[in-house]
Amino acid sequence: MRPNKIKQMWHDGKCVTLGWLSVSHGFTAEVMARQAFDALCVDLQHGTAEMSDVWPMLQAISQTDTVPVVRVAWNEPATIMKALDLGAYGIIVPLVNTAAEAAMAVAACRYPPVGMRSSGPVRAVHYGGADYQAQANDEIVVMAMIETKEGLANLEAICATPGLDAVYIGPADLSFALGLEPRGDNPDPIHLATCDKILETAHRHGIKAVMHCAGAAFAAGAVKRGFDMVMLTSDLACMIAGARQQLEELKAKTA
């Protein structure tokens, strides 16, 4: 089976860079994948993609060495299994509140006897290799998002869930949980301390911690704090920032 670069990098003690796809188009996915992110996530929760968009976007990513990841919209086994069958090598599950919910997400990502994933890797076997089904349980990465009051209250139990590879911090929803205004790259001391607590708890239980960032400066700080993966930027954010920069430069030069 094709090795999962995310797991390889984690084994070597390296931090993984993750890019984000909010736009549901194969060409956008291909262009982002060619920018040398270690992994790239198709966002089914808040992005414009639907399940019918996933396979061509994964095909586009697969032209490169970038690892294809999907954030599903909900902790729903059928959707998780479908994304994996289409070739995702990592699954991000939002709004995980309890150890039972984390265990359900893990089970959907693992074939029996470990989990309950149904057999039918219609595209994944072509991307992953002929021995995909025999090896997939060891290669697929499953990440649970910690971003609610209940999730924080059950942090220890979630991190202790057998088979869970990482916890993933959703900073805006975590801000809601802490009674703060939702924002990315939140510098609030309470928010930073909570993120560090999630990081420490994850590492104590032998799993990884991921920080969702909005820019390089905050991401660099997260790397220095010990996070194992940082989401750096998205296709949409880059498009907006690039267009804005060019317009502002034009206005400044023609004022």
Give mean pLDDT, residues 61-85: 98
Split at pLDDT 50, 70, 90, the class of 8 is very high
DSSP letter string, the chain:
----HHHHHHHTTPPEEEEEE-S--HHHHHHHHTTT-SEEEEESSSSS--HHHHHHHHHHHTTSSPEEEEE-SSS-HHHHHHHHHTT-SEEEE----SHHHHHHHHHHHS-TTTS-PPS--TTHHHHH-TTHHHHHHHH-EEEEEE-SHHHHHTHHHHHT-TT--EEEE-HHHHHHHTTS---SS---HHHHHHHHHHHHHHHHTT-EEEEE-SSHHHHHHHHHHT-SEEEEEEHHHHHHHHHHHHHHHHHHHH-
Question: What pLDDT score does 224 carry?
Answer: 98
Question: What pLDDT score does 214 carry?
Answer: 96
pTM score: 0.98
Q: What residues are annotated to the active site?
A: 46
Split at pLDDT 50, 70, 90, the class of 210 is very high
> Three-state DSSP class for 182?
coil
CB 158 within 8 A of CB 151: yes
Tokens representing 114 are 């470990």
Look at residues 199, 192, 145 and name the one whose alpha carbon lies nearest to residue 173: 145
Question: What pLDDT score does 153 carry?
Answer: 98
Question: What pLDDT score does 235 carry?
Answer: 98
CB 128 within 8 A of CB 1: yes
Give mean pLDDT, residues 160-176: 98
Sorted by where each starts, the structural domains of the chain and their CATH numbers stand as 5-254 (3.20.20.60)
Question: What pLDDT score does 55 carry?
Answer: 97
User: 19-47, pLDDT tens digit by residue?
Assistant: 999 999 999 999 999 999 999 999 999 99
User: 118-145, pLDDT tens digit by residue?
Assistant: 999 999 999 999 999 999 999 999 999 9
Question: What pLDDT score does 68 carry?
Answer: 98
**Residue 119: Cβ within 10 Å count:** 9
Question: What pLDDT score does 81 carry?
Answer: 98
Give mean pLDDT, residues 156-166: 98
Question: What pLDDT score does 215 carry?
Answer: 95
